[in-house]
Amino acid sequence: MIRMPRGAGRVLLALAGPALLAGHTLAHSADLDLAGLDAWRRLWSDLALATAAWVDATHGPAPQRVVARGDEAEARARRLILERIERDGLRPTRPLATLRDRPFVRERIAPEPKPYDDRGRAVLLALAFRLRGGIAPFLILWLGWLAAGPVLAWTAVELCAAGRARTAAVFTLLIGLSPFVAETLALPRNAVGFYVVGLLVVIPLAVYARLHPAPTLVGLGVRAAAATLALALCVFCRSSVGLLLPGLVLAFWLGSRRVVRSPWRRWAATAAAATLFAFPCLVVRQMGHHDVWQAVWEGLGDFDRTKGHAWSDPAAEEAARRAGAPAMWTPESEAALRAQVIGDVVGDPPWFAGILVRRLAATVTLWKLWPWGPLGGASIRPSTSPNEGFMDKYWRYTTPIDYLGFGPLQVEVPVPFLIAPAVALVAIAGRGRFRSRARDILATLACPASAALTAPVLISTAAGQEVQAFGLSYLLAAAFLVDLASRPGEG
């Protein structure tokens, strides 16, 4: 019989996942060259904004010293940062190493946040600079890990408290060995790593709600409040995190069924929790957020073949200009693209319903990842229509979710093998002496799964990382199945 870890054992188990993920992040970022990422606008925008904010906070504002503003300030920041990285010998393996700040203090820059960019990552990076005491450009690769580490530890603690230490051990091991997770958290192109962090937040809440042996309303409320704080951080950095709300609400509702007897009080508590979860999204929306209708218009290109939608900024800009918008990323372009999307959906509901169904199937089956490299040489199903635009490029920003390993030692797992544990749990839940346990597990899995479905189904399967994040539910299912299989005498 395997004994459940207690005390120090649980602490070590809670720290194992973040530590392994940190090592994976370090190994992944070791060869990163920022000089080769000139085209990643948001990377340089966030670095410029964070640098300017740190200089002003540390040395005081000096508007008379400003020599560049707006896009010119971003270009100047990029040039100076790359020059200083080379001159000072900074490397990604030293994320806390700082640049000499004199060039940034003597001649100031005043970059301006873009109206439809999420601003959270730049703010967090500026805070990290202040805590470090200098401009540490490679810290931008670690913001995702700094957010994900505590969530992984929280998940391990909740699983241990629910008597699922083996699940905790296997799940944290799988997360730590997932190139997709490590690379998405460290992706400098944008802050999509915070979407993964937000999805991970759903899991400990769901575990407590459904699997804890003695949940309480206070305990559920405290965990919902903690999840809200984590969600606020994530949605500030990546506005699409707000689409994870269904999973959080489902988790709270599952818990309320166990701790609240009155049906109407149960629904009232769930409604209050849903309001709490939604509050950060409403606040962030007032502070500035990612454009909405451009993403929706382009996103329809994943399965539209008749109405001209395409996963391509140039295609969206052309459509917006034809409708009278002066430029892209303006209120006029958002209004024009919104009108086109609504017109297409209202004018042809079966067309839109078909897209939603295909998106649902493509997400649940991870359809685009079914080619297996060792068998056919390709790991991602290539695009077959111009409407899919740059979809393949987005999917290749990180190693796919069906890879496991560390550094150069990675293996591609066939997608059917990745999905198989979840299918096995469904089969076990249908019959057999473990069906009650399997049903509890499936209810728990339904929370991160429902959270991860919203963005790909409602927005698009083209972006890549949000779709593949659904695979985290399959990793969790595998961990639960191992735990279930290791309890032959516990029917």
Cα torsion at 57, 63, 68, 73 (round to 10°)?
20
What does the alpha-carbon distance between residue 272 and residue 477 come to, in Å, rounded to a whole number?
A: 30
Residues 6+ apart with CB under 8 A from 65: 106, 107, 108
Tokens of 347: 């004018």
Residue 161 identity: A
Residues 6+ apart with CB under 8 A from 167: 159, 476, 479, 480, 482, 483
Torsions phi, psi for 95 (to 5 deg) = -65, -20
Residues 6+ apart with CB under 8 A from 350: none
Q: What is the pTM of this model?
A: 0.94
Q: What pLDDT does 8 receive? A: 64
Note the residue count of the chain: 491
Q: What pLDDT does 36 receive? A: 87
Instruction: Outline where 260-348 has alpha helix (H).
Output: 263-287, 293-299, 313-322, 331-347
What does the alpha-carbon distance between residue 147 and residue 56 come to, in Å, rounded to a whole number?
A: 26
Q: pLDDT tens digits for 340-359? A: 999 999 999 999 999 999 99
Give the 3-state secondary structure percentages of the chain, helix then strand then coil, rounded to 5: 70, 5, 25
Cα torsion at 365, 368, 370, 375 (round to 10°)?
180
Q: pLDDT tens digits for 424-473? A: 999 999 876 788 999 999 999 999 999 999 999 999 999 899 999 999 99
Distances (CA, A) of 183 to 25, 60, 100, 176: 7, 36, 28, 11
Q: What pLDDT does 1 receive? A: 42
Q: What pLDDT does 285 receive? A: 64
Residues 6+ apart with CB under 8 A from 165: 4, 5, 10, 13, 159
Give the residues of the chain that fall short of pLDDT 70.
Answer: 1-10, 285-290, 432, 488-491
Q: pLDDT tens digits for 56-109? A: 999 999 999 999 999 999 999 999 999 999 998 899 999 999 999 899 999 999
Q: What pLDDT does 2 receive? A: 45
Residue 151's closest CA among 26, 244, 283, 271? 244
Q: What pLDDT does 489 receive? A: 54
Distances (CA, A) of 150 to 19, 68, 346, 392, 409: 11, 39, 44, 32, 26
Q: What pLDDT does 407 receive? A: 80
Q: What pLDDT does 283 receive? A: 81
